[in-house]
Structure 1
Amino acid sequence: MPLPDDLAADQVRDRQDRAVAAARSAARELGLTVTEPRVLYDAFSVVVHLHPAPVVARVPTVLPRTVVADPAGQSAQQLRELDVTAWLAERGHPVVAPSPLVPRKPVRRDGFSMTFWQYVEQVPTEPSTGLDDPERIEGAAGLHAALRDYPGELRFLMPLDASIPDGLAQLEQRPDLLDTDGLRRARSEWALIEPLTSPEGFAARFPGLDVHPVHGDAPTYNVIVTPEGPLCSDFEHVMRGPVEWDLVSAGPAARATYDAAAARLGLRPLDERLLRVMEAARTLQLLACLPMAPQLPGLAGWLRPMVEQWQASPPLRTVVPESGD
């Protein structure tokens, strides 16, 4: 089935308005006073300060269709995120914590599933991956050390799920987003990575490399700077997996900084081969987002440099050969 046309600006504004209205309605039902909701951010989620309440709602609006088709699964992952961040906050780790003013669970309203967080004052900063900031890299190691003891159940390599092959299948209809050669390579690399998405398959390919709870996205990037210091945020993909997942695209200096911090904290150093595999896996995750470009104007342009860099790089089979090779 062809992908829909790009949303017009008024359609994007309407989606934002509906997300804000749903958050305001849900918050008021939970007993919060909301008179002047203020949108802080709008991309894959609408993030809205429910002013004057010291609460922020995060309302995912642009999602893979596999997630849309599984609302129970979406809510379960949101609950994991709330539980992990609450556990970290209770132990004094610097994270954006769930709001204590409402029950700690996702709320579904008007087709949106949302979570509620403590509002924190932000210090304006330039956008950065954080991979050139030793403090943020050391913070990622500190987060990994803290998460080792998390007792709850988490999915293994959670983002590497049915959304990857489904997204690639949708790209058959959009050669303007990924050409035929690129799609063929993406499917070939998914065939190499998919067996690693179970704990057993991963252990067979990378014996001796431990896995434990990790941020699941980019802890050096997902940082909110406050007057009191930086707070790690956006644990939407929190999962069990190798720490390399959280450090993709780290250059030699960043890797050395992480390894030094890891040694002090009793963590293993980064494995260069596994880091390359996780970088390929993260690339596939982003490629599978391309079918959502019509819903998020600007996404295709933002991802284009990544796609071009990936297409110019050596194929993954040079790192992870086919089974039996």
Structure 2
Amino acid sequence: MLSPEQLKARTARAVSAATGAAHDLGLSVSEPRVLYDVFSVIVHLAPAPVIARVPTVVPPSYTARPEIQTGQQRSELAVAGWLADRGHPVVPPSPLVRREPVRRDGFSMTFWQFVDEVPGEPDTEYRIGQTARLHAALREYDGDLGFWAPFGTYIPDGLAELEHLPDLLPAADLERAQREWSVIAPVLTSQRVFEQTFPGVDIQPIHGDVPYYNMISTPDGDLWSDFELVTRGAIESDLAAVGPEGLAAYDAAATALGLRPVDDRVLRLTVAAGRLAMVAVLAMVPELPMLAEGLAPVLDEWRASLEITGI
């Protein structure tokens, strides 16, 4: 487990790397300010109106093969930039630098336009409707994206790492997780197998995480953000945690936009995959100890659920 001192040192290194990279790009930075620090260090490079997102806790494959992380960051910048160029409500890449990830001092980072946040409780129903609008917009995106890339990276990476961390996940739990992944992996890592399993269920570019949660309230309204896990997949993957009322709100908004409603079978698959992803994230606890407490109820929910034995 990293100690509090080691975590602070890692944050300081990330801020230093972001500041140095910004200077190299011609930005004036004298007062860098950390806004958020969990999986990534989010730095306002003040006085420049620029945010640096510096991932610090990443899956092992990103470390072993940096080109995987770079490719995903390029997709993130490309999709967010494409949305911004067409006037959609999104936090855009910074217009002051190239839309390209920058690697420095062992970190790979991206640069975004600074926006003012407005405090307050988010309107979840409105954001669910915005998720349908995001899906409608993304259907037009024709750039190259992997098929459910995050699932195919984070889950196998995490489960492999957990084999060496028996104190974090008992052997019986790990064996169950590995069995479940062997069942769902063929469908989530092959577009051909998915389409054979769910004929008539289309796939498209999706946010890849929790788009209705990853929105920023600003004086100009709510903006989509955090496209770090953008990929191609089924829209159900973006809705795995909304609950019945949220699903009804999404279906109403989707139908009004001419989109298909949620498919119950695909939703069950993506809910199962989401839970398994949370199990896999447990492997990051040594680098981010705060995760242990937050993941505990999710793991309890997974253990209490029926094991996935078929699609």
Gaps of 5+ in 1: 1-5, 321-325
Matching residue of 2:28: 33
Counterpart among 101, 104, 117 of residue 106 in structure 1? 101
User: Unaligned 5+ residue runs, structure 2?
Assistant: none
Q: Indicate which of 47, 52, 55 corresponds to 2:47.
A: 52
CA-CA distance at 1:242 after TM superposition: 0.2
Which residue in the other structure is 1:205 paired with? 197
Aligned residue in 2 for 1:7? 2
3-state SS of paired residue (1:36): strand
Letter in 1 for 2:66: P
The aligned runs of 1:129-168 (5 Å cut-off) are 133-168=124-159
TM-score by length of 1: 0.93
What is the correspondence of 1:219-258 to structure 2 with a 5 Å cutoff? 219-258=211-250
- Is the counterpart of residue 92 in structure 1 residue 87 in structure 2? yes
1:162 CA drift (Å): 4.2
Name the residue aligned to 2:261: 269
Aligned partner (choices 107, 116, 121) of residue 116 of structure 2: 121
Cα deviation for residue 180 of structure 1 reads 2.2
CA distance in 1, matches of 2:120, 2:307: 36
Q: Contact between 1:159 and 1:285, CA under 8 Å: does it hold in 2?
A: no
C-alpha offsets along residues 198-233 of structure 1, whole Å, 9 cap, x if unaligned? 100111111110000000101011011111110110
Give the Å deviation of 1:177.
2.2
Three-state SS of the structure 1 residue aligned to 2:13 is helix
Structure 1 runs (4+) greater than 4 angstroms displaced: none
Q: Is the 8 A contact 2:207 2:231 kept in 1?
A: yes
List per-residue Cα deviations over 1:51-79 (Å, max 9, x = no partner): 00000000000011111111111111101
Q: CA deviation at 1:171?
A: 1.6
- The code of the aligned residue for 1:87 comes to W
Shift of 1:101: 0.3
Aligned to 2:209: 217
Q: Number of paired residues?
A: 310
Partner of 2:61: 66
Between 17-26 and 163-172, the greater mean CA deviation after superposition:
163-172
TM-score by length of 2: 0.97
| 2: CA distance, partners of 1:40 / 1:175 | 34
Asked if the contact 2:61/2:68 (under 8 Å) is kept, the reply is no
CA RMSD of aligned residues (A): 1.2
Could you tell me how far 1:285 is from its partner in structure 2? 1.6
Residues 129 and 253, structure 2, Cα contact 8 Å, conserved in 1: yes
- Distance in 1 between residues matched to 2:83 and 2:29, nearest whole Å: 28
1:183 corresponds in structure 2 to 174
Cα drift, residue 250 of structure 1: 2.0
Counterpart pick for 2:295 among 275, 300, 303: 303
Distance 1:162 1:79, change over 3 A: closer
Deviation of 1:286 (Å): 1.8
Cα distance in structure 1, aligned partners of 2:78 and 2:163: 38
Range with greater deviation from structure 2 (178-187 or 307-316): 178-187
SS in structure 2 at match of 1:38: strand
Q: Which range is displaced more, 219-228 or 175-184?
A: 175-184
**Would the aligned equivalents of 1:138 and 1:257 in 2 still touch at CA under 8 Å?**
yes
Q: What letter corresponds to residue 315 of structure 1 in structure 2?
A: E
CA distance in 1, matches of 2:153, 2:116: 37
Q: What whole-Å deviation, never above 9, does each CA across 1:157-191 have from its counterpart, x for those lacking one?
A: 01122442232122233333222221121111101
CA contact (8 A) 1:145 1:267 kept: yes
In percent, how many aligned pairs have the same letter?
56
Deviations 1:238-290 (A, max 9, x none): 11100000000221111111001110111110011111110111122221111
Q: How far is 1:39 from its partner?
A: 0.1
Structure 1 position 297, deviation (Å):
1.8
